[in-house]
Amino acid sequence: MTFDKKTVDLVRAYLSERRGEMVRDLMRLIRVPSIRSDPKPGAPFGEACLKGLLEAVSLFRENGFDARVSEGNRYGIATYGEGPSVGLFGHTDVVPVGDGWDYCPPFEPAEIDGCVIGRGSVDNKAAIVISLYVLRAVRDLGLPIGGKIVVFIGSAEETGMEDIEAFVKECPMPDFSITPDNDYPVSLGEKGICRFFVRSRESFTDILSFEGGLAFNVVLDKVKIGIRSDSALARAIPDAVKGNDAFSLSDEDGVLTLTAKGVTAHASMPKDSVNAAALACKLLLSLPALGEGDRRILAKAADLLSGVYGEPFDLTRNDPYFGPVTTVNGIVRTVGGKFELSFDFRYGTSVPACEIERKIEKTLARVGFDPVSLDNDEGFRLPEDQPAAKTVIGIYRTLTGDANAKPYYSAGGTYARHLKNAFSVGTSLPGYPTPKMRVGHGGEHQPDECINVEGLVGATLMTLAMAAGLLDTL
């Protein structure tokens, strides 16, 4: 179909009239605290993720669309139309909420200054709403898009993507796919992602526990360290943290708990983040009362945490398409008295996956930590002169009036890496304001995550136009 000015105006008016419904549906999805937990019968990613998946599938059914949950309850599918296909891919699972929400509890969303605030508002329950209203607009306006739209509703994107892996095995892949889980104008590739845990060879003595974080892909912003109250180390800490707002103390049942607070960020964008474990290590290492064994462990950990652009692992690379390697810690824990840390590496296609693994192995041997687990998923890059790529960027330029807009290559990891002819875009068009928040708030994976509603409406129009444009190329 020709997505001319008359059609654009028609769709824009249709979506604008349903702004309130879009907010209602987004808030409905946000109210489900769909964080992954231990598997249960019929709930492979935990009961909360299953509830989030079922809620989204119900939303499509209530709007009159053919929608189902996969065998095994890993993902949902909703469809409309016949013929060649374009897929819209989103997910209902979210990362843990963290502390310090200023505007509303994370799963009790609020609309403030034209924005919806709540965990998942951007990443990625907005994509489910976008997909629903793309289907509604096509059906209700009778748009002759000349094909079939397949909506994928995931429930484990943040924690391994077993959902999309199951889909690829069980279902035909769409001819083209759009993943509204990134930024505009359009991403034509994604960094490789290497995730692993490391463990100290020695066990702590005075330190009873060192715990924080729940996800690989979030900069660790809070840790709690338990220390024997009768130790010299515990007696030295109160004076060391006096007047420092990054630290707080509590003492109960013979254990002094030191809490360190940093600044979180998405693992793909660690600039301006502050790792709480690194803060705690620096403080404890400054104290003469820290025992030699614990000092050795924390010094090695501090070495590994000393940079977010590959510095500790001799991996400072700047890919011409993807930019620098990033190396982020998201989880720390004690297991049997030994210290474990997670890492999330993101690297461009110019860096071979084997080099990443070789540098990790060499660095761990140097500092004296052992690898516990490692998963390495190479990235991909599509050429800018591909006809479909030209189509989607052309549509973006036309609808926004930004003739200079160019595609980019992403540091994030989306479902696009598992699909053919896949493009990832945003859930909100750029240029729409969000409330002025303190540093470390408002973005995906941050407290007070928020999305501008008009930006969401614009992204829905953009997604529909791109889907129709891609079908026209077949």
What is the reported pLDDT for 400?
A: 97
Q: 10 Å Cβ neighbour count for 317?
A: 18
297 band by pLDDT with thresholds 50, 70 and 90: very high
Return the percentage of the chain with pLDDT > 70, whole number.
100
Which string of b and e fits 229-249 if b means at least 16 CB within 10 Å?
eebebbebbeeebeeeeebee
Give the Cα separation of 459 and 472 in Å (integer). 20
pLDDT digits (tens, 9 = 90+) for 221-268: 999 999 999 999 999 999 999 999 999 999 999 999 999 999 999 999
Q: What residues contact residue 186 under an 8 Å CB cut-off, 6+ apart?
A: 389, 392, 393, 396, 407, 408, 423, 424, 425, 466
The average pLDDT across 191-219 equals 95
Return the percentage of the chain with pLDDT > 90, whole number.
96
pLDDT at 2 over 80: no
Helix (H) or strand (E) segment spanning residue 140: helix 125-140
> Using an 8 Å Cβ cutoff, are 377 and 348 in contact?
no
What is the reported pLDDT for 474?
A: 87
What is the reported pLDDT for 16?
A: 98
pLDDT at 347 over 90: yes
pLDDT digits (tens, 9 = 90+) for 22-78: 999 999 999 999 999 999 999 999 999 999 999 999 999 999 999 999 999 999 999
Strands (E), 47-94: 66-69, 75-81, 85-91
> Using an 8 Å Cβ cutoff, are 322 and 409 in contact?
yes
Q: How would DSSP label each residue in 281-308?
A: HHHHHT-TTS-HHHHHHHHHHHHHTS-S
CA atoms within 13 A on the CB side of 458: 18
Report helix, strand or coil for 459.
helix
pLDDT at 295 over 90: yes
pLDDT at 98 over 90: no
pLDDT digits (tens, 9 = 90+) for 373-396: 999 999 999 999 999 999 999 999
Tokens 């660095």 -> residue:
363
What is the reported pLDDT for 426?
A: 98
- Mean predicted lDDT score pLDDT of the chain: 96
99 band by pLDDT with thresholds 50, 70 and 90: confident
Secondary structure, 3-state, 21-50:
HHHHHHHHHHCCCCECCCCECCECCCHHHH
What is the reported pLDDT for 389?
A: 96
Report helix, strand or coil for 253.
coil
pLDDT at 214 over 90: no
- CB burial of residue 40 (10 Å; 0-12, 13-18, 19+): exposed
Give the Cα separation of 24 and 19 in Å (integer). 9
Give the Cα separation of 124 and 91 in Å (integer). 6
Q: What angle do CA 106, 166, 134 make, to 5 degrees?
A: 60
Give the CATH fold of the 5-191+380-472 domain: Aminopeptidase (3.40.630)
What is the reported pLDDT for 420?
A: 94
DSSP structure class, residue 158: G
Give the Cα separation of 43 and 70 in Å (integer). 12
pLDDT at 412 over 90: no
DSSP structure class, residue 279: H
364 band by pLDDT with thresholds 50, 70 and 90: very high
CATH class of 192-377: alpha beta
CA atoms within 13 A on the CB side of 7: 18
What is the reported pLDDT for 70?
A: 98
Task: Kindly list the domain boundaries of the chain, sorted by start residue.
Answer: 5-191+380-472, 192-377
Give the Cα separation of 207 and 268 in Å (integer). 31
pLDDT digits (tens, 9 = 90+) for 127-177: 999 999 999 999 999 999 999 999 999 999 999 999 999 999 999 999 999
Cis previous bond, 109, omega within 30: no
Give the Cα separation of 220 and 265 in Å (integer). 8
What is the reported pLDDT for 358?
A: 96
